[in-house]
Structure 1
């Protein structure tokens, strides 16, 4: 597909949309709101809030759509979490947590600004071009109502755009022949993914499974003996991102170059404020 956008404009826009969505995963407000409805385990809370739009799903559906979590870890919490709090209860708790998180990290004045309202309008317009077909997490979230308050409407739109790209990305990873652990290892080797310690600790894989995946990547000539990407590995990861860009082009084409650029500009300011406020834990990304 030929694009009228500047090169990688969609990826640049997505890169500043995603943190606005994902900040709540690391927020004490999420833990507090989920604990208030009986979900006290942090992993159970994560699986619940992200899977709740799909309804009373089991561990198979969650593992398939989340991709890089070990099935056994998911099965420890799903479907048991729904006996504690139904998907509708979880969704209401998540919205309260997102509201509290954004107000705490950004402040009341920025939340109420015309820039946030403009960003919400642009991001929601971008979602008009998203497609449900073969994108289960996006499709489930797209069935949810748009919140009335602009900062939450913006969060909803960034969630849709995040899951839309993510669903396409998983198809690309499968086409590249990467299993969940190999995808994590190779992404970490770029220096842009989760650190091995963080990935092993949060995704349920063992260090032996991580090392085995590294060995398979070395056998394919994608990773060297020091754990760095080879020339072929770099090329594969670049093609994975480029293919993901192609599958995720429609929302940003719908905005046009000016709209995508303006949304990127607005979201960059918001994300810088989130980062400055400590929205994300130290040591989450990197090669060590």
Structure 2
């Protein structure tokens, strides 16, 4: 394997673009319909099942550890019971069908069979060749799945690999910063780039009281001010977390090289803009309020 040093922010931009395509699946009604077809109807059960299925019929503890920012009591309501409704293999097959349908709606059929999609899939898969399994459970589980033949599904698969690889490393950075799952969400929301408290409380199982308690702990550490904004120390800590995440995730992008990263970012950004314009995400998903 050959590597070429590239600008960390260029790699981060590429990772963010790839993640934006992967994340469309969590809001796609097509995926919900496919999961409902195999008996999984509750949104939280669907979320846990579709992301954890690559790891097999795991228990609640494994999902809580790998997902990090969900309250364990919420996870335990649905896992491992969800595997009695549908096997991990059935969930993975449903995800492929749902993603296929969602991408056809969001991007349009001509884009899925375009030379640009095939090129993006090839570049993303090449980057993923340099990912490592060690201490990365979600990436490692997805890396054991076969690569789909259709370019748009291969691109989604590669985007998922790169997303989970970076995500697993990000959890190591959060742990090193001594932020628990909820504290991580509170500080990320405070940057203005994370999910709003409304979405965190609706999807992660935490109460308003628990959110307020986490904010209090962060104020005690000097990371948040009285208005809930990041202090100078808080801004610095979030920057350190992202820098560490970049370091732990540099291998795939160095393997791809600066030219490949730039081209993959360009292609992926085009797909992401099209998906966004087609209503891929809820309008109130990101922000501080």
TM-score, normalised by the number of residues in structure 2? 0.98
Instruction: Structure 2: state its 5+ residue gaps.
Output: none
How do 1:266-277 residues align onto structure 2 when only pairs under 5 Å count? 266-277=267-278
**How many angstroms does 1:45 deviate by?**
0.6
Counterpart-to-counterpart distance in 2, 1:103 and 1:201: 28
Q: Residue 225 of structure 1 aligns with which residue?
A: 226
Q: How many residues align?
A: 287
**Paired position in structure 2 for 1:6:** 7
For 2:8 and 2:124, locate their aligned partners in 1 and report how far apart those are by CA, in whole Å: 19
1:13-28 equivalent positions in 2, closer than 5 A: 13-28=14-29
The SS at the match of 2:6 is coil
In structure 2, the CA distance between the partners of 1:247 and 1:3, relative to structure 1 (3 Å rule), is farther
Partner of 2:99: 98
Runs of 4+ in 1 over 4 A off after TM superposition: none
Contact 2:4–2:255 (CA under 8 A) maintained in structure 1? no
Match for residue 189 of structure 1? 190
What is the CA-CA distance between 1:24 and the residue it aligns to? 1.0
Inter-partner Cα distance in structure 1 for 2:106 and 2:115? 18
Q: Which residue of 2 aligns with 1:61?
A: 62
Aligned ranges 1:24-63 → 2 under 5 Å = 24-63=25-64
* Structure 2 Cα separation of the partners of residues 205 and 220 of structure 1: 21
1:108 and 2:137 aligned: no
The structural deviation recorded for 1:6 is: 2.4
Other-structure match for 2:237: 236
Q: Give TM-score scaled by structure 1 length.
A: 0.99
Deviations 1:124-149 (A, max 9, x none): 00000000000000000000000000
> How many angstroms does 1:3 deviate by?
6.8
- Whole-angstrom distance in 1 between the partners of 2:178 and 2:114: 45
Report the more deviating stretch, 93-102 or 4-13. Answer: 4-13
Distance 1:58 1:148 in 2: 31
Q: Please give the secondary structure, in 2, of the residue aligned with 1:8.
A: helix
Query: Within 1, Cα distance between the matches of 2:57 and 2:142?
Result: 14
SS of 1:204's partner is coil
- What do the CA deviations read for 1:63-91 (whole angstroms, capped 9, x no partner)? 00000000000011001110010000000
